[in-house]
Amino acid sequence: MPNGSLDSHLFKGKTLLTWDVRNKIAQGLASALLYLHEEGDHCVLHRDIKSSNIMLDSKFNAKLGDFGLARFVDHTKGSQTTALAEPVGYMAPECITARKASKESDVFSFGIVLLEIACGRRSIEHRISDESQVSLVPWVWKSYGNKRLVDVVDKKLGMNFDIKQMACLMIVGLWCAHPARNLRPSIRQAIQV
């Protein structure tokens, strides 16, 4: 992939991704996850969705990579679980307690990536001095609750983004990263929003 991984652009300063490119990447990742979860012969749990596993081609189309931890599950048996694999920072709360991955935990990781795309920072930033901002999800939840989502948007974008589209992306990211597994959307529902 000539443009490397998403994380090299968001966190390592390879190039500044414009809002349009970021939105395109988010939609491409959602389409890949929809195919894995619902459209193939078998449901595939990726179990390792993170910005470093989202590869970008020459036109910045997103390709989900690194299927080393992926597992097949049968569509007819509902939301099955497999042994834990998600990386810390992208791991759904139920994975920590039950040590199992599911479609819902993939959706959780997808939500984290959406928030990283919007905010331009990692899910956990230990170098931040304000402890309330170390973890991305609570920080964005707080801004959302205060009706100040624009405050957490990646500063490198300036104000060069569509505010409604950005808010939608962040709200979907929060919905997908909801702590309660049964309150997360399916990937199809997330795409529809």
Which residues are annotated as catalytic? Answer: 48
**Residue 27, token pair as written in the block:** 């939609």
Cα–Cα separations (whole angstroms), residue 86 to 34, 36, 48, 92, 187:
18, 16, 5, 8, 17
**Residue 7, token pair as written in the block:** 């994380």
DSSP 71: E
User: Could you identify the residue written with the tokens 């991955």?
Assistant: 101
Of 184, 161, 158, the C-alpha closest to 173 is 184
DSSP 118-185: HH-S-SB-TT-SSGGGSBHHHHHHHHHHTT-GGGGS-GGGTT-S-HHHHHHHHHHHHHHT-SSGGGSP
Amino acid (1-letter code) at residue 172: V
